[in-house]
Amino acid sequence: MSPLPAALVEALDAAVASQRLLVASDFDGTLAPIVNDPAAARALPDAADALVALADQPSVSVALISGRALATLRELSAMPSSVALVGSHGAEFDTGFANDVDEALLRRIVDELMAIADGRPGVAVETKLASVALHVRNASDSDGEAALAEAREAARSWDAEITAGKKVLEFAVVSTDKGEAVDILRDRADATAVVFFGDDVTDEKAFARMRDGDVGVKVGQGETLARYRIDSPDDVASALAYLLDTLSRRS
């Protein structure tokens, strides 16, 4: 674990000084390290503890915004009700989906992706309430690339929103946008500043919605719209602990 960049510390200090703070984070690769078995993902204890403690601070709202289905995110994160949970890349709130789910199209996509995965060890299909993900993290390079290429070709005939992540393609039958989710949470909390942590391509939509005084933090390598960058989930834990310590000293 390395020290937080000085520019990030300065930005976090400014965010803490605002009247109402929203702290939001992706889950996989951000709060929780990436693992080969998606069902085995768990938040780092220090990060989870800090996030829960932040939710108990006056004038602070906390949320997780994940590509996971909401029920799965609730199970894996084990977060209390004080932490808002948003699943399906920002489309699934506790009140349900904003738009109707095309269940017939969803079943068709599942069937075709299962056929693509068949006979390719390590290629997996994850079915959610409003989307289907094709995972190739555990496949050979040749099988993974072939499966993704076939899925993209098949998707030409699907009226689905495609989201590319790390070794995964996801096909949603409802509109998904983490940036819109951040704005909804911002309005709900009447937040005057937002701190958002994310590591994947899908998090760029949230970084694109950052305003003056907000703090977008990219975790890991890759091009990004975020102004700040840290290396790993361990550094996310450090940043959350720093926010908590700073808020505690101000209260």
Same domain as 202, residue 114: no
For the chain, the domain total comes to 2
Give a yes or no: residue 25 inside a domain.
yes
β-strands 83-86, 60-65: how paired? parallel
Q: What's the CA gap between 9 and 228, in Å, rounded?
A: 10
26 is an active site residue: yes
List 63's β-bridge partners, or say none: 24, 84
Domain C-terminal end among 156, 172, 188: 172
Give the pLDDT band of residue 161 (cuts 50, 70, 90): confident
Sequence-ordered strand ranges (E) for the chain = 21-25, 60-65, 83-86, 92-93, 96-97, 124-127, 131-135, 161-165, 168-172, 193-198, 215-219, 228-230
Between 166 and 20, name the one with better pLDDT: 20
Same domain as 116, residue 88: no
Q: What's the CA gap between 137 and 116, in Å, rounded?
A: 15
Give a yes or no: residue 74 inside a domain.
yes
Same domain as 21, residue 39: yes
Owning domain of residue 113: 103-172
- Quick one: pLDDT at residue 145? 95
Q: 13, 26, 49, 141: which is the annotated catalytic residue? A: 26
- Quick one: pLDDT at residue 155? 95
Domain C-terminal end among 147, 172, 197: 172
Give the pLDDT band of residue 168 (cuts 50, 70, 90): very high
Q: Enumerate residues 6+ apart whose C-beta is below 8 A from 57.
A: 244, 247, 248, 251
pTM for this entry: 0.81
- Quick one: pLDDT at residue 36? 85
Same domain as 109, residue 52: no
User: Once rounded to an integer, what is the mean pLDDT over residues 12-40?
Assistant: 94
Same domain as 62, residue 121: no
Give a yes or no: residue 1 inside a domain.
no
Task: Count other C-beta atoms under 10 Å from residue 165's C-beta.
Answer: 19
Give the pLDDT band of residue 188 (cuts 50, 70, 90): very high
CATH number assigned to the domain comprising residue 163: 3.30.70.1020
Tell me: the pLDDT tens digits for 142-151?
999 999 999 9
Same domain as 146, residue 37: no
Q: What's the CA gap between 230 and 217, in Å, rounded?
A: 7
